[in-house]
Amino acid sequence: MELKRFIVNKLILFFILSTLIAAAVSLIGSAFDRDASIRYINLLTPMEYAALCILPTLVSYSKHELSPKALLLRKALSLLLIEGIMLFIAFQSPAIDTKRPEVALAIAGSVLVIFVLAHLFLWLKDSAEAKKMNRDLEKFQKQHELPGTDS
């Protein structure tokens, strides 16, 4: 994959992650700490987490097409790294009650769900682009068909 497309995909992933993380933080926070209040600066937290989660996905970059096995291994490695980063942050934060196992499990589970949803959204986007390219190619081929030839 060319570097420009890779960077654009990472920017798209950043915004997808920011949205999903904001939803997860809201759900987990309201489930485990209903009475907490947040300050405006805390609204940036999902974007900070998203930026940190983008870093491990850089292991998937390759100038050449990866085999399905290599791609799967790199995706699994990035998931493990993301889980590690997010759990490290959770256990270091005095605001997150990680002494309660259900809180740590909710965080780990939400990371997995967000990872799967983000990749699903990216796949849907790529699938739509591929279908459009195929339609455009088909239209181009019909327009440039030589007279007297059967396709």
Task: Report pLDDT digits (tens) over 72-106.
Answer: 999 999 999 999 999 999 999 998 889 999 999 99
Q: How much is the average pLDDT of 58-83?
A: 92
Local confidence band at 34 (pLDDT 50, 70, 90 cut-offs): confident
Local confidence band at 61 (pLDDT 50, 70, 90 cut-offs): confident
Centre a 10 Å sphere on the Cβ of residue 67 and count the other Cβ atoms it contains.
Answer: 9
Quick check: is 29 in a domain? yes
Res. 151: pLDDT tops 60: no
For residue 49, CA distances in Å to 27, 52, 74, 114, 139 come to 16, 5, 20, 12, 43
Quick check: is 148 in a domain? no
Q: What is the structure's pLDDT at 148? A: 61
Amino acid at 48: E
Quick check: is 151 in a domain? no
Quick check: is 149 in a domain? no
Quick check: is 21 in a domain? yes
Q: What is the structure's pLDDT at 41? A: 87
Local confidence band at 1 (pLDDT 50, 70, 90 cut-offs): low
Q: What is the structure's pLDDT at 62? A: 84
Q: What SS3 state is found at 145?
A: coil
Whose CA is closest to 122, among 6, 20, 16, 27? Answer: 16
In the chain, how many domains are there? 1
Quick check: is 52 in a domain? yes
Tokens of 113: 């769900």
**Containing domain of residue 120, as a range?**
3-143
Question: Using an 8 Å Cβ cutoff, are 25 and 45 in contact?
Answer: yes
Q: What is the structure's pLDDT at 149? A: 57
Question: Using an 8 Å Cβ cutoff, are 74 and 59 in contact?
Answer: yes
Res. 140: pLDDT tops 80: yes
pTM over 0.85: no
